[in-house]
Amino acid sequence: MNPHLSTAPRMDTQGIAEYLGLSREHVTARLTKRADFPKPFINASRRIRYWRVADVKAWAEGRH
């Protein structure tokens, strides 16, 4: 495994929801399906995915 992937700051859908002030269900059902939202960098399973914190923050800042 690439050591940069395992140590990169990451968040799951719950972390994204807390950061953006949304429900986890909204993040899962809507936000992660948007074409402009970052793709997860770890897909552990269909239900367990992780995004780079920097990618999510950059996306959020670009929306304001």
CA dist 39 and 59 (Å) reads 11
Give the domain extent around 43. Answer: 3-62
Domain count, the chain: 1
Distances (CA, A) of 30 to 24, 27, 37, 47, 49: 10, 6, 10, 14, 15
CA dist 64 and 61 (Å) reads 6
Q: How confident is the model at residue 5 (pLDDT cuts 50, 70, 90)?
A: low
Answer whether residue 56 shows pLDDT above 80. yes
**pTM exceeding 0.85:** no
Answer whether residue 6 shows pLDDT above 80. no
